[in-house]
């Protein structure tokens, strides 16, 4: 946290202090260590001894600098020790063969780059976990060193080769000077070049980095190659110090390098780290090691101290998620008192839940009885999922109570959980078989051994009930999405839960599967259980439910028997809201067509979509969740591929997945999940605003920091980002201000086509209208804007035209001024043709 100090210089100083905190702590640590050792042995504090420590630390420091790059980009390289040994031997062999010290040094660095390239191929290219991949390379390089040298050290006497390890400039050892110089090079690289700055973005949030047109694979590869080259450079100093190339050189070096980087402030979860800190870290580790040796502690103690050091550093930095442990609520948080009237199964009273100040649920009260099917209706974002999570104990409510009433125990054989939730996101373990996953958590066993036969027969019975004809020994990951959905249902059947929540259970089902599900739901109700059924499809709700609970904006607006309300009344209840929102709409001159989409189809949700957007207009895409709205935007941005159809940007055809082309045509994409795809949360506002700009605005890859600051200040003013502090980590801003940063990131490159996916979700009222006025301003400046929003009044208020999408098809287009009901009816429409096609697509 940056302390807020009035007056610019004071705040600047505080910010610098804050930024340098780790480094200052390290300097103090080094000073304290030197003081302690000098106190114990006065001879420790001599210039020659300190210089020698510096020289010793330089090998670790140079390797650790390369390691810092890798760690910043969220990787790890434990092959550096092996690489150092192998490159040393290669350099010595080249020296023997050619007699040229220059060639030998080049060979060391070049072969280091090659080994780094191997890591890059394995990790960035093939996607192998960096840890295991570099473990393999470590074995290979250590083996190569032994093999090439015949397990014997190779003496080196070339003075040029030896100078770095033995020579000095003005009394300071050359190796140490090199380490300091390289530290400076790394500092400049990470600060002033677009590639270097990309390291932090890739490590902080690879998804957002990709969405900001940064080549994640390229940057990751670069980090490994640089780490290999660093090891190759360090080897030259090591050879100089010993006067020979050792096949066993670099033993434990990877550990020392990781320690130095982590102690110096690099975060193992990526996105953080500084070369200067790493240099100090290497010196600190070197000082402590040398000091312990000086006090004649044995090597053993030194090992243990360095082992402890890294653990302490990792724990103290606190960037690991272990604090989340405290916050995780156990499923037992819901009170399970057994009182109340006999038929009442669940009693929810005055339930309130808020996230960062926004009330997602506001005083919700209802009761559920055994033997009934209740529909839970509401628009996207009305609070349905939050309600389910509060009931099932995933969230702890901020107010009100959730209570399971008493039902005769004997009605249910086992005393299991009271509630089973069939999730939209699957809760099945992919690598287990069907039989195993159905029993997980409640496995039958005798004498400590699993009763596989009873697991199988139980699973078979459940499968036949839901109509799945699958071998129960097939792993879950091989099932289709629809089959998994039915398996989830089977799992709920097997449980003894009295309340079963189904969240959009038919979205992935074929018609046949859906009919089977209806039968099961009725059967469950017949057994005296209660089914809470969440769906957007009116026909389903009519078919199954006896009663509907309607939520809107987190409030309960209706609890009506189905026969008393027709569809129109229910829709009205869901969307009808007070007229408190006034949307600023400005007239703008229409320009030429900027986006033209014809017959777009993807392998996912989008089946057949056509529309166009002209410059100077806002087109809204309306549709239910899962209708394919987001997919359309992602196709236009080039983030996802499409199967057939055509997209034209400013008249030019765009091929599938051409992210680069889209961006060259001025496409900006503001994603739905800004934390996941929009921002690099750990990075400050200024750098986030420059994510896209820095590559276009840079000359020869060099970024002008002055321009970067000026741009950031201008954007913060233009968008009124609060607090107006460019140094604040973007992840700590409020939702609305985070969204402004994501929009600002694109405004920095003057986009002509802007795709907005739910730009105001989770944003408070004030920031919302500010975002709306930004949209209006961009429109009048001639941008073509495509807007997706689940909030219909917003969509209707901001857009010039609305295109309605249902089941992956564009089913209609409406002019400005159309009513919510008209749009909703179109969006809810499921003509037989489209629904059958839909299930085909999903299967």
Partner 1 sequence: MNRLRALSANIAPISLLVLVFIGCALIDGRILAPANLMIILTQSVPILILALGAFIVLLTGGIDLSAGVSVTLGSIVIASMLTTGANLFPALAAGLVCVVVIGIANGTLVTLFRVPAFITTLATMSCIQGISLLLATRGVYVINEPALKWLGTGRVEGIPVSILVAIIVICAAYVLMHHTRVGLRTYATGSDPTATALANISTSRVLMLAYVIAACFTFLAAVMLIARTPIVTPNLGGQSLLLDAIAACVLGGVSIFGGRGTVLGVVAGSLIVSLFANALRVIGVDPSSIDLMKGALVISALVCDVGIARLRGGVLKEESHDYR
For residues 79-118, which are near partner 1 according to CB under 8 A? 118
Alpha-carbon span 263 to 590, nearest angstrom? 58
> Quick one: 813 exposed, middle or buried, by C-beta within 10 A (0-12, 13-18, 19+)?
middle
Q: Which is nearer to partner 1, 313 or 600 (CB)?
A: 313
Cβ 60 to partner 1 shortest distance, Å: 14
Q: Which of 54, 66, 69, 75 binds partner 1 (CB under 8 A)?
A: 75
Under the criterion CB under 8 A, does residue 325 sit at the interface with partner 1?
Answer: yes
Q: Of the candidates 34, 154, 237, 417, which one interacts with partner 1 according to CB under 8 A?
A: 417
Enter the DSSP assignment of 313. H
> Which residues from 696-735 bind partner 1, rule CB under 8 A?
none
Considering the complex, what minimum distance in angstroms separates the CB of residue 779 from partner 1? 37
CA distance 843 to 832: 17
Q: Is 13 an interacting residue with respect to partner 1 (CB under 8 A)?
A: no
Q: Please name which of 643, 645, 691, 649 lies closest in space to residue 667, comparing C-alpha atoms.
A: 649
User: CA-CA distance, 327 to 471, in Å (whole number)?
Assistant: 40
What are the DSSP E strand ranges found in 81-216?
Answer: 154-155, 168-169, 172-173
Asked if 365 touches partner 1 (CB under 8 A), the answer is no
Helix axis angle, 253-263 relative to 47-72, nearest 10°?
80
Angle between helix 47-72 and 194-204 (nearest 10)? 70
334 sits near partner 1 (criterion: CB under 8 A)? no
What is d(CA 58, CA 299) in angstroms, rounded to the nearest whole number?
20
Classify 558 in phi/psi space as left (phi over 0), alpha (psi -120 to 50) or beta: beta
Cβ nearer to partner 1, comparing 428 with 783: 428
Neighbouring CB atoms inside 10 A of 342's CB total 11
Q: Is 318 in the site for partner 1 (CB under 8 A)?
A: no
Sign of torsion over alpha carbons 51, 52, 54, 59: positive
Residue 298 engages partner 1 in binding (rule: CB under 8 A): yes
Count the helix, strand and coil residues of the chain and give each as a percent rounded to the nearest 5.
55, 15, 30
Only one of the segments 144-152, 177-185, 458-466, 720-728 lies at the binding site for partner 1 (rule: CB under 8 A); that segment is: 144-152
**Is the CB of 144 or the CB of 639 nearer to partner 1?**
144
Binding status of residue 322 toward partner 1 by CB under 8 A? yes
Using rule CB under 8 A, residue 133 touches partner 1: yes
Choose one: 300-308, 400-408, 711-719, 743-751; the region binding partner 1 (CB under 8 A): 300-308
Least distance from partner 1 to the Cβ atom of residue 115, Å: 11
Chain centre to alpha carbon of residue 124: 17
Separation CA 320–CA 318 (nearest Å) = 5
Binding to partner 1, residues 525-554 (CB under 8 A): none
Query: Within positions 476 to 535, which residues make up the interface with partner 1, using CB under 8 A?
Result: 477-478
CB of 257 to partner 1, least distance (A): 12
> According to DSSP H, which parts of 477-615 are helical?
481-494, 511-526, 538-544, 567-575
Closest CB 44 distance from partner 1, rounded Å: 22
* Closer by beta carbon to partner 1, 10 or else 430: 430
Q: How far apart are CA 533 and CA 376, in angstroms?
A: 6
Tell me which of 20, 50, 52, 136 binds partner 1, using CB under 8 A.
136
Nearer to partner 1, 474 or 582 (CB): 474
Based on the shown chain and the rule CB under 8 A, indicate whether residue 473 belongs to the binding site for partner 1. yes
Find the part of the chain contacting partner 1 (CB under 8 A) among 231-239, 319-327, 499-507, 761-769: 319-327
Region near partner 1 per CB under 8 A, out of 11-19, 354-362, 469-477, 703-711: 469-477
Min CB(404)–partner 1 separation in Å:
16
- Asked if 208 interacts with partner 1 (CB under 8 A), we say no
Q: Does residue 286 interact with partner 1 by CB under 8 A?
A: no
Interface with partner 1 (CB under 8 A), residue from 10, 127, 576, 599: 127
In the complex, the smallest distance separating the C-beta of residue 478 from partner 1, rounded to whole angstroms, is 5
Minimal CA–CA distance to 284: which of 20, 17, 33, 22? 33
Query: Judged by CB under 8 A, how many residues of this single chain contact partner 1?
Result: 81
Residue closer to partner 1, measured from CB, 68 or 790:
68
CB 191 within 8 A of CB 183: no
Binding mask 798-837 for partner 1 (x = CB under 8 A): ----------------------------------------
Distance CA 427, CA 386 (A): 17
Cα dist from 341 to 396, 403, 418, 546, whole Å: 25, 12, 17, 21
The angle at the Cα of 216, spanning 658 to 748, to the nearest 5 degrees, equals 70
User: Taking CB under 8 A as the rule, does residue 469 contact partner 1?
Assistant: no
d(CA 750, CA 783): 9
Return d(Cα 700, Cα 46) in angstroms, integer. Answer: 46
- 321 is an interface residue for partner 1 by CB under 8 A: yes
Beta-bridge partners for 534: 376, 503
Residue (82 or 383) nearer to partner 1, CB:
82
**What residues from 234 to 273 belong to the interface with partner 1 (CB under 8 A)?**
247, 252, 255, 258, 268-269
Residue 218 interacts with partner 1 (CB under 8 A)? no
Q: Does 396 bind partner 1 (CB under 8 A)?
A: no
Please report, for residues 149, 731, 745, 764, the alpha-carbon distance to residue 154 in angstroms, rounded to integers and kept in the order given.
Answer: 7, 53, 55, 69
SS (H, E, C) 697-755: CCECCECCHHHHHHHHHHHHHHHCCCCCCCCCEHHHCCHHHHHHHHHHHHHCCCCCEEE
Map the footprint of partner 1 across residues 436-465, applying CB under 8 A.
436-437, 440-443, 445, 448-450, 452
- When asked if residue 310 is in the footprint of partner 1 (CB under 8 A), the reply is yes
Q: Exactly one of 106, 146, 406, 658 binds partner 1 (CB under 8 A); which one?
A: 146
| Residue 76 touching partner 1 (CB under 8 A) | yes
User: Is position 144 an interface residue for partner 1 (rule: CB under 8 A)?
Assistant: yes
Segment near partner 1 (CB under 8 A); pick from 426-434, 594-602, 712-720, 786-794 = 426-434
458: left (phi over 0), alpha (psi -120 to 50) or beta: alpha
Q: Which stretch binds partner 1 (CB under 8 A): 222-230, 274-282, 472-480, 712-720?
A: 472-480
Q: Is 570 exposed, middle or buried (0-12, 13-18, 19+ CB in 10 A)?
A: buried
Q: Which two tokens stand for residue 393?
A: 């104990």
Picking from 810, 674, 842, 666, the residue whose alpha carbon sits closest to that of residue 743 is 674
The answer to whether the peptide bond before residue 723 is cis (omega within 30 degrees of 0) is yes
| 603 interacts with partner 1 by CB under 8 A | no
Give me the least distance between CB of 89 and partner 1, in Å please. 11
Q: Applying CB under 8 A, which of residues 300, 356, 563, 578 lies at the interface with partner 1? A: 300
122 lines the binding site for partner 1 (CB under 8 A): yes
By the 8 A CB rule, do 96 and 157 touch?
A: no
For partner 1, the closer of residues 445 and 464 by Cβ is 445
* Binding piece for partner 1, criterion CB under 8 A, among 42-50, 298-306, 646-654, 781-789: 298-306
Q: Which of residues 176-195 bind partner 1 (CB under 8 A)?
A: none
The nearer residue to partner 1, 412 or 426, going by C-beta atoms, is 426
Please identify which residue in 34, 142, 682, 747 interacts with partner 1, judged by CB under 8 A. Answer: 142
* Residue 452 Cβ vs partner 1, minimum distance, rounded to whole Å: 7
The answer to whether 663 touches 213, Cβ cutoff 8 Å, is: yes
């Amino acid at each position: 946290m940056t302390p807020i100090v009035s007056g610019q210089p004071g705040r600047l100083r505080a910010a610098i202090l804050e930024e340098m905190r780790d480094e200052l702590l390290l300097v103090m640590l080094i000073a304290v260590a030197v003081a302690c050792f000098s106190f114990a042995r006065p001879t420790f504090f001599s210039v020659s001894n300190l210089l020698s420590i510096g020289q010793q630390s330089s090998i670790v420091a140079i390797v650790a600098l390369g390691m810092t790059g890798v760690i910043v980009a969220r990787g790890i390289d434990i092959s550096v020790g092996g690489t150092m040994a192998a490159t040393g031997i290669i350099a010595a062999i080249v020296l023997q063969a050619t007699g040229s010290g220059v060639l030998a040094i080049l060979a060391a660095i070049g072969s280091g780059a090659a080994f780094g390239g191997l890591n890059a191929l394995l990790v960035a290219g093939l996607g192998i976990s960096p840890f295991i991949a570099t473990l393999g390379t470590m074995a290979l390089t250590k083996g190569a060193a032994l093999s090439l040298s015949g397990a014997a050290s190779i003496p080196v006497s070339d003075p040029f080769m030896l100078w770095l390890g033995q020579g000095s400039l003005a009394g300071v050892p050359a190796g140490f000077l090199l380490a300091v110089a390289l530290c400076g090079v790394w500092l400049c690289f990470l600060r002033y070049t677009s590639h270097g700055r990309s390291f932090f973005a890739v490590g902080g949030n690879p998804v957002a980095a990709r969405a900001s047109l940064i080549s994640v694979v390229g940057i990751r590869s670069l980090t490994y190659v640089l780490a290999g080259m660093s090891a190759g450079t360090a080897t030259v100093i090591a050879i100089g110090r010993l006067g020979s190339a050792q096949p066993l050189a670099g033993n434990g070096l990877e550990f020392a390098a990781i320690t130095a980087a982590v102690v110096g402030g690099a975060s193992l979860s990526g996105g953080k780290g500084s070369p200067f800190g790493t240099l100090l870290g290497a010196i600190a580790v070197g000082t402590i090691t040398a000091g312990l040796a000086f006090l004649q502690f044995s090597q053993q103690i030194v090992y243990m101290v360095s082992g402890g050091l890294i653990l302490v550093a990792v724990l103290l930095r606190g960037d690991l998620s272990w604090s989340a442990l405290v916050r995780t609520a156990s499923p037992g948080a819901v009170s399970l008192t057994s009182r109340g009237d006999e038929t009442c199964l669940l009693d929810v009273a005055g339930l309130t839940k808020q996230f960062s100040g926004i009330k997602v649920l506001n005083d919700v009260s209802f009761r559920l009885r055994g033997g009934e099917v209740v529909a839970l209706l509401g628009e996207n974002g009305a609070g349905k999922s939050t309600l389910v999570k509060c009931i099932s104990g995933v969230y702890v409510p901020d107010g009100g109570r959730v209570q399971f009433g008493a039902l005769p125990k004997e009605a249910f054989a086992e005393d299991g959980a009271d509630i089973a939730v069939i999730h939209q996101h699957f809760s099945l373990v992919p690598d287990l078989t069907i039989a195993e996953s159905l029993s997980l958590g409640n496995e039958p066993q005798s004498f400590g051994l699993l009763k596989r036969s009873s697991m199988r027969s139980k699973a078979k019975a459940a499968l036949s009930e839901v109509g799945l004809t699958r071998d129960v020994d097939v792993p879950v990951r091989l099932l289709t999405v629809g089959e998994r959905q039915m398996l989830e249902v089977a799992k709920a059947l097997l449980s003894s839960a009295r309340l079963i929540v189904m969240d959009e259970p038919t979205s992935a089902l074929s018609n046949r599967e859906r009919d089977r599900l209806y039968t099961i739901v009725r059967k469950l109700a017949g057994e005296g259980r209660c089914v809470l059924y969440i769906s957007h499809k009116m026909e389903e709700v009519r078919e199954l439910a006896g009663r509907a609970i309607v939520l809107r904006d987190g409030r309960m607006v209706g609890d009506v028997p189905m026969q008393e309300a027709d569809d129109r009344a229910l829709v009205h209840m869901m969307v009808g809201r007070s007229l408190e929102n006034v949307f600023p709409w400005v007239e703008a001159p229409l320009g030429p067509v900027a986006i033209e989409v014809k017959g777009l189809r993807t392998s996912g949700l989008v089946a057949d979509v056509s529309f166009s957007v002209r410059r100077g207009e806002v087109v809204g895409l309306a549709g239910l969740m899962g209708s394919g709205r987001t997919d359309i935007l992602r196709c236009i941005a080039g983030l996802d591929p499409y199967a057939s159809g055509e997209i034209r940007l400013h008249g030019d055809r765009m091929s599938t997945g051409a992210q680069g082309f889209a961006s060259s045509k001025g496409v900006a994409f503001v994603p739905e999940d800004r934390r996941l795809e929009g921002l690099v949360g750990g990075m400050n506002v200024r750098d986030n605003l420059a994510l896209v700009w820095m590559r276009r605005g840079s000359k020869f890859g060099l970024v002008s920091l002055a321009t970067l600051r000026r741009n950031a200040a201008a954007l913060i003013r233009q968008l009124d980002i609060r607090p107006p502090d460019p140094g604040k980590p973007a992840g700590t801003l409020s939702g609305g201000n985070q969204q402004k940063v994501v929009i600002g990131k694109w405004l920095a490159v003057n986009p002509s086509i802007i795709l907005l996916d739910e730009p105001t979700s989770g944003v408070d009222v004030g920031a919302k209208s500010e975002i709306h006025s930004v949209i209006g301003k961009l429109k009048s400046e001639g941008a073509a804007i495509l807007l997706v929003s689940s909030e219909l009044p917003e969509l209707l208020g901001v857009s010039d035209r609305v295109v309605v999408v249902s089941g992956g098809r564009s089913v209609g287009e409406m002019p400005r001024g159309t009513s919510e009901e008209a749009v909703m009816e179109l969006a809810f429409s499921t003509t037989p043709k489209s629904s059958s096609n839909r299930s085909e697509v999903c299967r």
